[in-house]
Chains A and B, each alone.
Chain A
Amino acid sequence: MTAPNHNWRKFKNVFMQTLTFVCAILVVTPLLLVFYHLIKEGFSSINLAFFTQLPKPEGETGGGMSNAIVGTFVLLAQAAVIGVPVGVLGGVFLSEYGGTKLNWWIRFAADILNGVPSITWGIVVWGLLVVPMHTYSALAGGVVLGLMMIPLVMRTTEEVLQLVPGGYREAALALGIAKWRTIVQIVIRTALKGIVTGVLLALARVAGETAPLIFTALGNENWAHNLTQPIAAMPLQIFAYAIGPYNDQHRQAWAGAFVLLVLVLSINIGVRFLTRDRFQQKV
C-alpha cells in the first residue's frame, strides 16, 4: 500500500496550486495599486471648483475641469448616437440574418477592428473629418469614439442574442408573428439587459480613450460652443496636465483621473446591478 512517489505528487499539487494563486494575485495587484494611488492623490485634490470652474491660465493655481467633464459627456453622447444603432443592428444581422460565410467575414472584420490601435482610429478620422473641415472638432471626436464602439457593440449584441434560446423564436414564428416582429418584440426584448450591458461597457471603454482624441477633439481651455469647435475631454485634460510643469496641474490631473475612474467604475457596477437578474421578469 505504499505509494513511492506520494510526497512528490503532493508537492507538485501544492506547488501548482500556489503558482496559480500567485498569478491570480498578480492580476489584481495593479488594479489595487491604481486604486490606492488615485484615491490617495486624487480624492484629496477634488474640490467644488474642480467641477464648476474652467481651467486657469497656465501657472495659476485653482480652477477646474468643468468644460472637460461636460466635453466627455458630449463626446460620449455623440459616440452613442453613432455606435449604438449601427452596432446593435449589425449584431442583430449577425445573429438573426445573413449567411454563414458572409457572417464569418463580418465577424472577422469586427474582431480585427476591435484590435486596431486606438491611435490608428484617430488618424483615420483626422483624415476623414479634420482635414476636410480645416479644424479639429467635437464632431470628429464623437465620430472616432462612435466608430470604435461599433465593432464592440456589434459583437456583444450578437453574443447575447445567441444566448436567447431558439425555442422562443420558434414559438413566436409558430404563432404567425412576422420575423422582424419576433426579433424586435421577443428576441431583443429577452436579451435587452445584455444588449444594454454591452453598450454601457463599450461606452466605459471609449470614455477613457485619449490617443484618438488628440487627433480629433484636440482639447479646449474654454467651452466649445458648437460641435465644429475643438472640445475638452477628461482624458485629454489629464494628459495635458500630467505632462505639465506645475504642481497644481499635477494635482488636477490626479483629480481628473480619479473622477474618470469613478465614472467608468460606476458604469461597470451599474452593469453588474442591471445584469443581476437577466431573463427575469420585472415583478
Chain B
Amino acid sequence: MATDPNNSAAALTVRNLSVFFGKNAAVKNVSLDITAKAVTAIIGPSGCGKSTFLRAINRMHELNPDARMEGEIKLFGDDIYSRTVESVTVRRRIGMVFQKSNPFPTMSIFENVTVGLRLNGMRDRKMLAERTEESLRMAALWDEVKDRLNAPAISLSGGQQQRLCIARALAVQPEVLLMDEPASALDPLATAKIEDLIVSLKKDYTIVIVTHNMQQAARASDFTAFFYLGELVECGPTPKIFTSPAQKRTEDYVTGRFG
C-alpha cells in the first residue's frame, strides 16, 4: 500500500523510511514513490513529519546532530544514503526552497542566482550570464529584474525574493526540487504566482511540495500524500485524495474536520 499505483517513472523511491530525533520518531516507516516530472504535495497537520520527510530526501535533516534515519531512498536508482555518496552531491541533484525566503544579503541578484555555480567552481562569465537569464525566466522573475541584476537581492519584494530563491535553486540544474511551504509567508497574489510557477516547472522538474494550504495542494499538485503523526496515511492522484480518499482519516482532514 501507500505507493502510487500508477507509478510508471518514479524519480524517488522511498522505502521504509524512519527518521528519529534522539528517541522520537518524526517519520515512521514511510514507503512512497515520487513520480518524475510531476508535482507531489505533502499535506498533514503541524508536527506530522512532513517537513522532516522532505528534509530527509536531500539529507538536510543531517544538520541536526541528533537526527538519525533508517530505510532507503533512491534517486533514479541511486541510493542517496550509500556510504560512498556525499550529502553535497545529493543536494546538487535535489534542490530545496524554504518557507522563509533567504536570498544572501551580501549579494546582488545576479550573484544570488549564480552562487551555487560559482562556489562550485564555474568561472565562465558567458555561461553564468546564460544560466542567470534561463533560471530567472523559469522562475518568472526575469522581466522584473533584468535591468537591475546588480542591485542588492534584498531590495526585492517578499514574493520576488522567494522567486529569486527558486531561480537560485534552479540554476544548479537539480533533478528534483523540494519546496517547504514556499508560499506560506506570502500574500495571495504572490502565492498565485508561485503556484503558477510550480505548475510550469513540472515539465522539466520533479517537484515535492510541503503545504499547509489544502487549496494549494488541490490546485498545484498531481499527487498528494497525507501524513499523520509521522505515518503516511494515503497517497494517490490529487483529485482522488480530495474527492474520494480511501482512508477515513484522509477524508476527515481534507474536509477540515480535524487538523
Contact residues of A with B, CB < 8 Å?
A: 99, 165, 167-178, 181-182, 185-186, 189-190, 192, 279-281, 283
Q: How far is the CA of A76 from the CA of B139 in the complex (A)?
A: 51
- Specify which chain A residues have a CB less than 8 angstroms from the CB of B119 in the assembled complex: 172, 175, 177, 181-182, 185
In whole Å, how far is B109's beta carbon from the nearest beta carbon of chain A?
10
- List the B residue with the shortest CB-CB distance to A192: B106
Known: A190-B105, A190-B106, A281-B108. A177 touches B120 (CB 8 A): yes
- B-side residues, CB < 8 A to A, are 58, 60, 63, 65, 87-93, 95-96, 98, 100, 102, 104-108, 115-116, 119-120, 152-155, 165, 168-169, 172
Q: Identify the closest chain B residue to A283 (Cβ).
A: B152
Nearest CB of chain A from residue B154's CB, rounded to whole Å = 7
CB proximity of A204 to chain B, nearest CB, Å: 26
Choose among A173, A174, A189 the residue with the greatest number of B CB atoms under 10 Å from its CB: A174
Question: In whole Å, how far is A185's beta carbon from the nearest beta carbon of chain B?
Answer: 6
Q: Judging by beta carbons under 8 Å apart, are B92 and A173 in contact?
A: no
A-B contacts besides A176-B88, A181-B119, A182-B119, 5 pairs, CB < 8 Å: A171-B104, A173-B87, A176-B93, A176-B116, A176-B120
* Minimum Cβ distance to chain B for residue A117 (Å): 38
Contact B107 A173 (CB under 8 A): no
Question: How many residue pairs bridge A and B at CB < 8 Å?
Answer: 82
**Alpha-carbon gap, A280 to B108, bound state (A):** 11
> In the complex where A167-B100, A173-B63 touch, is A280 in contact with B88 (Cβ < 8 A)?
no
Q: What chain A residues lie within 8 Å of B108 (beta carbons)?
A: 281
| Bound Cα distance A136, B104 (Å) | 49
Given contacts A177-B88, A190-B105, A190-B106, contact A170 B60 (CB under 8 A): yes
Which chain B residues lie closer than 8 Å to A182 at the CB level? 119
Chain B residues closer than 8 Å to A192, beta-carbon distance: 106
B33 smallest CB distance to A (angstroms):
23
* Subset of 16 A-B contacts with CB under 8 Å: A170-B96, A171-B104, A172-B119, A175-B169, A176-B88, A176-B120, A176-B172, A177-B115, A181-B119, A185-B119, A186-B104, A190-B105, A279-B106, A280-B105, A281-B107, A281-B153
Say whether B169 contacts A174, CB under 8 Å.
Answer: yes
Contacts of B105 in A (CB 8 A): 168, 190, 279-281
CA distance A279 to B169 in the complex (A): 22
Q: Is the CB of A174 within 8 A of B60?
A: yes
Q: For A172, list chain B residues within 8 Å (CB).
A: 104, 115, 119
Question: Smallest CB-CB separation from A100: which chain B residue?
Answer: B65
A175 touches B91 (CB 8 A): yes
Residues in B whose Cβ lies below 8 Å from that of A181: 119
Q: A174-B95, A175-B172, A177-B88 are in contact. Are A281 and B154 (CB under 8 A)?
A: yes
A167 to B172 alpha-carbon distance, docked (Å): 19
Known: A177-B120, A281-B107. A171 touches B165 (CB 8 A): yes
B72 to chain A, nearest CB (A): 21
CB distance from B240 to the nearest CB of A (A): 31
Shortest CB distance A170–B (Å): 6
Q: Which chain A residue has the least Cβ–Cβ distance from B165?
A: A171
B208: min CB distance to chain A, Å: 13
Indicate whether A171 sits within 8 Å of B98 (C-beta atoms), given known contacts A176-B172, A177-B119.
yes
Asked if residues A176 and B92 are in contact (CB atoms below 8 Å), the reply is yes
Q: Which of B63, B88, B90, B116 contacts A170 (CB 8 A)?
A: B63
Closest Cβ of chain A: how far from B59's Cβ, in Å? 9
Closest to B92 in A: A176
B226 CB to nearest chain A CB (Å): 25
> In the complex, are the beta carbons of A167 and B91 less than 8 A apart?
no
A181-B119, A281-B154 as given contacts; A174 in contact with B58, CB under 8 Å: yes
Asked whether A170 lies within 8 Å of B98 as measured between CB atoms, the reply is yes
Least CB distance from B247 to A in Å reads: 32
Task: Write the chain B residue with the least CB distance to A186.
Answer: B104
In angstroms, Cα B90 to Cα A170, docked, is 14
Chain A positions within 8 Å of B95 at CB level: 174-175
Query: Assuming the A-B contacts A181-B119, A281-B154, A283-B152, are A174 and B104 also in contact, with contact meaning beta carbons closer than 8 angstroms in the complex?
Result: no
Q: Which residues of B contact A168 (CB under 8 A)?
A: 102, 104-105
